[in-house]
Amino acid sequence: MKLGRMLIAAVLLAVLGIALWWSNRAEKAKEGQPAADGPPRILAIAADTVREFAIQRRGEAPTVVQFNDKGKWVITQPKPLPADTVAVAGVTNTALKLDSERVVDPNVSDLASYGLAPAVLEVKITQKDGKTSKLLIGENTPAGGAVYAKLDSDPRLFTINSTNKVSFDKDFKDLRDRHLLTFTEDKLSKVELTARKQSFEFTKAGEGEWRITAPKPMRGNAAQVEDLVLKLRNAQMDASFTDDDAKKAAAAFAAAASTAVVKVTDQDGTKTFEIRKAKDDYYVKSSTLAGVYKVGKDLGDGLDKPLDDFRNKKIFDFGFNDPTHIEIADGPKTPVYDKSGETWMSAGKKIDSTSMQAFIERLRDLSATKFVETGFTTPVVTLTVVSNQGKRREKVEIAPAASGGNFLARHDGDASFYELAANVVKELRQAVGDVREAQPEKKK
């Protein structure tokens, strides 16, 4: 009897499972489809199939945008220009799913009455299989909030929400890439900057890491270099920039002295960006964009910096990546500390975690007051720190400065020195002395 009930329950469970699977399949098939009793869909074009679109306002020349064989969107008419991928996506995504609000006439004949002959706006979309769709957009409806629309191949007259018209109503100025310097940020390998009569070079050493490789090897301040890259990436021309503005900018640039020249190198090669200052205004010229453009003070000031602003004042690079091995040589004191899991050990003894962490924080915060080129004497303290799962090994030597009573630190791989105040070195030594053996755990 029990076996029979179990069989019945199993059959019912299987039936329910099949019903649920079929329901989910049906719902998935409906995804992206208009409701059966809703207004018809006018366009349904997969964005990745679009290879060209042309937008023409009544009485104006068309703007034509193509997806070229290099995998990039470019404007081909009214003149060749790089296109902005975000602006292009605004057009193609609207074509992805364009629903009508209602059908006004199933077989319209008088197109002129609705502003469709000629259309206020005509959008022609060509897909990779050669199929074309032409959308005609006309006048606003009397009630407002909607506009008349019609597919060239469909006899029906629709209304669509006016926001869809706004998405399509773009010319080459709206769709052009307005970035003054185009490069692939995650492919950058080198940035060169000439400013304040200095020339220096940053080389990417890893994710979020930059080294100064010219005029000599130095540690770079990654945050400052990334900020420079961000300013270059976000530099854009004003959308309202006119041909007359371009002429004035070119004249001002030609007469002004150079403030800074930047070169960035990515997978496509080296691109150049020069900025000049005329009175209180900045003007730029880029190798990736024709013409001269006026830019804001923030960009000008961001490039007009000395080398020291891009240097790392921190003595160690391990940051918030806790060390796993530390060696100290301070006269006769030569302790070595190793971390296993959460436990620090030295000479076979467990180390008190609180005092050890205080010492690590002191190392982490160790910063220079300034950079100097000479005056390093005989080292009195040598620190070796291993971090990043053994991948990063840093050696720092500290010596009394030749004059002034302070100390100088030398980081391996860096050609110059970091000045440390005497009290900072004193506190560091004190932190080393405070590291103590862990107390035995009390027996319960």
Dump pLDDT digits (tens) for 285-297.
Answer: 999 888 899 998 8
For residue 21, the Cα-to-chain-centroid distance in whole angstroms is 42
Mean pLDDT by 10 residues, the chain (444 residues): 54 53 46 60 93 96 95 93 93 94 94 95 96 96 94 95 96 92 93 94 89 92 93 86 87 94 96 93 92 90 91 92 95 95 95 96 95 95 96 96 94 92 96 93 68
Q: What is the pLDDT of residue 12?
A: 54
Q: What is the pLDDT of residue 37?
A: 56
Phi, psi (degrees; rounded to nearest 5) at 383:
-120, 130
Mean pLDDT of the chain: 90
Q: In order of start, what are the domains of the chain with their CATH numbers?
A: 41-175 (2.60.40), 185-310 (no CATH), 325-434 (2.60.40)
Q: What is the pLDDT of residue 296?
A: 87
pLDDT in tens, 247-276: 999 999 999 999 999 999 999 999 999 999
**Long-range interactions of 32-40: CB distance < 8 A, separation 24+:** 32/97, 34/99, 38/99, 39/99, 39/100, 39/101, 39/102, 39/103, 39/158, 40/99, 40/100, 40/103, 40/156, 40/158
pLDDT in tens, 5-53: 555 555 455 555 554 544 554 444 344 444 555 789 999 999 899 999 9
Structure tokens at 392: 């990063």
The identity of residue 120, as a single letter, is V
pLDDT in tens, 214-237: 999 999 999 999 999 999 999 988
191 touches 262 (CB < 8 A): yes
Q: What is the pLDDT of residue 203?
A: 96
The identity of residue 221, as a single letter, is N
Q: What is the pLDDT of residue 26?
A: 42
